Amino acid sequence: MDMDGDWPLPRPTTFFKANRRPAGSSLGKTSSIASTFSSLATPVVAEAVQRARELSTTCDVEGFHQLRVAFRRLRALYWAYSPYLGEEATAQATEEFKRLAAVAGGTRDWDIAGELLQAAQESGASVELLAAAAREKRAQAVVHSQTMIRCDDVEAFLNDALHRAQSALQLHCNDLPIRAFARERVRLAQRTLQKRSRRAGRRGEAAHEEALHDVRKAGKKLRYLLEFFQPVIKGGYERTIKELTSVQNTLGRFNDIAASETLIRTTTFYEVPPEVVQESLRWLQEQKGRRMRAASRRVRDIAR
C-alpha cells in the first residue's frame, strides 16, 4: 500500500520524549478507553522514533530488532482498539506498521542467517563462502533499511497516526471505562491463540510450518495486550506472560531456521557455488526438523 497517497505526511511535530514512564504505568480501572490509548501508544511511538533516529547513523543489531518489535506492538494495540478506530483507519495504520517492521527486519534476518551459518561451520559444514556472502547481504540490508526508514518521515507518520486515532477515540468512546473493554479484547486474543494452537496440532507436516507461524503471531499479540492492559484487568497474568514468553522463544527458534532457509533459498549468490548453498540448506533442514518438533510439543501444551 502507498501510504503517501492516502495519508499525507505532515512535517514532524516533536512531542515525543525518549524517557517516558513504561506503557500502562498511569492506567487505572476508572480510566477511559480513549485516554488509555494515548497512555499506551505514546511511549511505544517515542521508542520507535528514537530507534529510527539512532539507526540512521548506526547499524546496531539489537536496534533493528527493537524497532521491529515497536512496530509489532503498535499493530497489536491498534487491533485492540479497532472497534472504535474503524476498519479502514486500522488497516491503513497497521499496513504501514507492517511495512516498516519488514524493512527494519531485513537487517535482523541476515544477522540470524549469519549466526546459523556460523553454527553450521562449527559443526563441520563447508559453508564459509556462503557465510561471507551473507555478511555482504547484511551490509546491503543496512543501507536499504537506513534509506527506507527516514527518521523524519517515521516521526511524521506516527505523529499523524496517533493524532487521528486519538481524535476518533475521543469522538466515539471518550467516557467509556477501560476495564471491561480490555478484558474482552484479551479474551478474544486468547480465543484466537487457542484456536490456532488446536489447528496446528491437527495439521499435516506440509501445512504445519505455516500453522506454527500463525500460533506464534497470535501468541505475540496476546502477550503484548497482557503487557499493555495488565494494570487494569488484574487477574494475576504474570505467570501467563512468562509462559507465553517461553513458548514464543521456542517458536522463535524454529522461525529463525525456517525464515533463514527461505531467505537463502530465494536469494541469488553469484559468487557462491550451488553445492555450497545446497549444503547449507541440508543443514538448515535438519535443524529445522528438530526445532519444529520442539515447537510442536509446546504448542500442544498450550492447546489443552
The three-class DSSP label of residue 120 is helix
| Between 187 and 124, the higher pLDDT residue | 187
Average the pLDDT over each of 27-36, 92-101, 188-197, 224-233 and give the range with the smallest value: 27-36
Calculate mean pLDDT across residues 193-198.
92
Calculate mean pLDDT across residues 215-228.
95
Quote the CA–CA distance of 36 and 166 in Å, as a whole number.
Answer: 10
Name beta bridge partners: 32: 177
- Grid cell locating 224: 503484548
Average the pLDDT over each of 184-188, 246-250, 298-302 and give the range with the smallest value: 298-302
Provide DSSP, 64-76: HHHHHHHHHHHHH
- DSSP code, position 267: S
Quote the CA–CA distance of 2 and 6 in Å, as a whole number.
Answer: 7
What are the CA-CA distances from residue 164 to residues 7, 44, 78 (Å)?
11, 16, 12
| Non-local CB neighbours of 283 within 8 Å, separated by 6+ positions | 120, 123, 125, 127
Q: In what helix (H) or strand (E) does residue 271 lie, and over which residues does it extend?
A: none
Query: According to the model, what pLDDT value does residue 4 have?
Result: 32
Query: According to the model, what pLDDT value does residue 28 have?
Result: 67
Calculate mean pLDDT across residues 223-237.
88
Among candidate residues 34, 76, 78, the one with its CA nearest the CA of residue 166: 34
| Between 207 and 49, the higher pLDDT residue | 49
- Model confidence band, residue 166 (pLDDT cutoffs 50, 70, 90): very high
Query: According to the model, what pLDDT value does residue 205 have?
Result: 53
What are the CA-CA distances from residue 290 to residues 92, 170, 198, 258 (Å)?
38, 50, 21, 12
The pTM (predicted TM-score) of the whole model is: 0.85
Domain parsing of the chain, residue ranges: 30-303
What are the CA-CA distances from residue 28 to residues 105, 107, 144, 183 (Å)?
34, 39, 42, 13
Which top CATH class is 30-303? Answer: mainly alpha
What does the pLDDT look like over 72-83, one tens digit per residue? 999 999 999 999
Do 287 and 127 meet the contact criterion of CB atoms below 8 Å apart? no
Q: What are phi and psi of 32, to 5 degrees?
A: -90, 160
What does the pLDDT look like over 17-69, one tens digit per residue? 433 444 444 566 678 999 999 999 999 999 999 999 988 888 777 888 899 99
Quote the CA–CA distance of 232 and 226 in Å, as a whole number.
Answer: 10
Query: According to the model, what pLDDT value does residue 234 have?
Result: 77
Quote the CA–CA distance of 197 and 212 in Å, as a whole number.
Answer: 8
Q: What is the mean pLDDT of the chain?
A: 86
